[in-house]
């Protein structure tokens, strides 16, 4: 069973059995516009909560994507190298950014659920 959390910085994190998949929300990709480049972290990199993990560039601006929790990068979405627009078309699906092994799942307790996140951007 998976559970999805949201940050104030418009990242989502879906946790399934100790592995977490991270991406940006639909709201975030709408604000950015069409993505033209995604700079992904290296597999094995240790990330601290709040640290810049990914840089996404759109026709409007470059924006940092932050690690929603401490952990180690387990996998990156290689498909984004050739097709960064996946983040625009399916931000919570095929447009995921990276997967990580969490160091401290209790950090997720401070994040929002989907209802709270929707209220925060309404």
Q: Which domains does the chain have, with CATH numbers?
A: 3-113 (2.40.50.100)
In order along its 122 residues, the chain shows pLDDT tens digits of 789 999 999 999 999 988 999 999 999 999 999 999 999 999 999 999 999 999 999 998 899 999 999 999 999 999 999 999 999 999 999 999 999 999 999 999 999 999 999 999 99
Please state the pTM of the whole predicted model: 0.95
CB of 40 closer than 8 Å to CB of 97: yes
Q: Find out whether 64 and 48 touch, Cβ atoms under 8 Å.
A: no
List CB contacts of 45: < 8 A, sequence separation 6 or more: 72, 73
């Amino acid at each position: 069973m998976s559970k999805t959390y949201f940050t104030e910085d418009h990242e989502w994190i879906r946790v399934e059995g100790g592995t977490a998949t991270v991406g940006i929300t639909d709201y975030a990709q709408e604000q950015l516009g069409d993505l033209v480049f995604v700079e992904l972290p290296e597999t094995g990199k240790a990330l601290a909560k709040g640290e810049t993990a990914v840089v996404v560039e759109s026709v409007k601006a470059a924006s940092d994507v932050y690690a929603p929790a401490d952990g180690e990068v387990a996998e990156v979405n290689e498909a984004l190298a050739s097709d960064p627009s996946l983040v625009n078309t399916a931000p919570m699906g095929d447009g995921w950014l990276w997967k990580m092994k969490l160091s401290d799942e209790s950090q997720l307790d401070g994040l929002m659920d989907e209802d709270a996140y929707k209220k925060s951007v309404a």
